[in-house]
Amino acid sequence: MEEQRLKDQDTPGADRDPPHVSPISDVLGSARSQRRSSRRAAILWRVSILVALIVGMKILNTTSGNLVMPSPEAVFRQSVEMWSDGTIPRALAESLLVLGLGFVLAATTGILFGILLGGFPFLGRVLDPYVNAVNATPGAAFIPLIIVWFGLYAEAKIALVWLAAVFPILINTTAGISNANKDLIEMAQSFGAPRRALFWQVMVPDALPSILSGLRIGAAVCIVGTVIAELTMAQSGLGGLMIKAGNRFQMDRYFAVVIVMMALGSLITIGLRLAERRFGRWRVSLRDGD
C-alpha cells in the first residue's frame, strides 16, 4: 500500500483534476444565444434604417417641397385612403394574378428544361448559346412581338412576366443539376439506378439550393416584369396606379403604391428564403443518411 501511494505521488499530474470539458448542451446553448443576439441586432439596425429613411423624407420634404418628396404623414394618409376605398386591393389582386400565373409558368418550364439541359450534357452544350443569347436580350425588345401575338391584356402580361423570370430559374437549375455530386451519381449507377431515378432521387435533391436560389431571383424579376407589363400594355394593377399618379404629380399617392410593391417583393422573398432553408436542411439530412 505504501509503495503504491509513493508511486502515485511520483507520477506527474496524478493529483491534478482532469481538464474541464464543456458539455454539448452548453455549446449548443451558447450558439443559440449568439444567434438570438445576432437577430436582435439585425432587427435593431433595420428599425434604425427605417427611422432614418422617414426622417430623411421629412427633411427633404421640408427643404424641397411636396413635388420632390412627399411628407411621411401625407403618404400614410393616402395609403389609408387607398386601402379603405378599395383602390389598392383591386389593383393588388390584378397584379397578383399576372405575377402568380407568370411565376408558376416560369418555375415549371424553367425547372423542367433546366433538368433536361443539366442532365443531358450534350443537349446542354447544343442549346447553351441560344439560351444565353435570349437571356442577354433586353425584355423590352420582345414587347412588340408579345403584343402582336397576345394582344394588350392579361395573356400578354403573363407572357412578359414568364419571359422575364424563366431564364434565371432555368440557368440556376441547369447549373445545380450539372454540378450534382458525382460520387452519389456513380454510386447510384453502380447499383443499377435508371436515368429517371438519377434525376429525381439523386440529382434534383442535390441541386435544390441552386433551384431555390433561382426561384428567389425569378420571383424578384417577376415583380419587375409585372410592373413593366402594366406600364407598357393596358394600364392596370399596381403599375397602372403608379403611372397615373406619376403623370399627375401626385407623389404621395405614387409613394403609397411603391411601398405596396416593396412590401410584396419582401414577403415573396422571405417566403422563398424560408423554403430554401427548410429544404436545405432536408437535403443535408438526406445526404448524411439521417
Q: Which residues, other chains included, contact 54 with Cβ-Cβ below 8 Å and sequence gap of 6+?
A: 72
Intervals of the chain under pLDDT 50: 6-8, 13-15, 17, 21, 284-290
For the stretch 19-42, what's the b/e string if a residue is b when 16 or more beta carbons lie within 10 angstroms of its beta carbon? eeeeeeeeeeeeeeeeeeeeeeee
Of the chain, the end-to-end C-alpha distance in Å amounts to: 52
C-alpha cell at 12: 506527474
Q: What is the pTM of this model?
A: 0.73
Amino acid of residue 269: T
Give 76's DSSP letter. H
Q: What is the pLDDT of residue 101?
A: 92
Shortest CA distance to 236 belongs to which of 104, 122, 90, 124?
90
Q: Which residues, at least 6 apart from 123, have a Cβ–Cβ distance to it below 8 Å?
A: 116, 117
Q: Do the Cβ atoms of 283 and 205 come closer than 8 Å?
A: yes
CATH for the 70-288 domain, from 3.20.20.80, 1.20.1110.10, 1.10.3720.10, 3.30.420.40: 1.10.3720.10
> What is the three-class DSSP state of 69?
coil
> Tens digit of pLDDT for each residue in 57-89?
888 888 887 777 888 888 899 989 989 988 889
CA 248 vs CA 3, 70, 83, 245, 259: distances in Å: 102, 14, 20, 5, 18
Q: What is the CA angle 263-266-267, rounded to 5?
A: 85
Distance CA 223, CA 261 (A): 8
pLDDT of residue 108: 93
Whether 239 and 225 have beta carbons less than 8 Å apart is answered as no
Give residue limits of the domains in the chain.
Answer: 29-68, 70-288
Question: Judging by beta carbons within 10 Å of its beta carbon (0-12, 13-18, 19+), is residue 218 exposed, middle or buried?
Answer: buried
Which pLDDT does position 104 carry in this prediction? 92
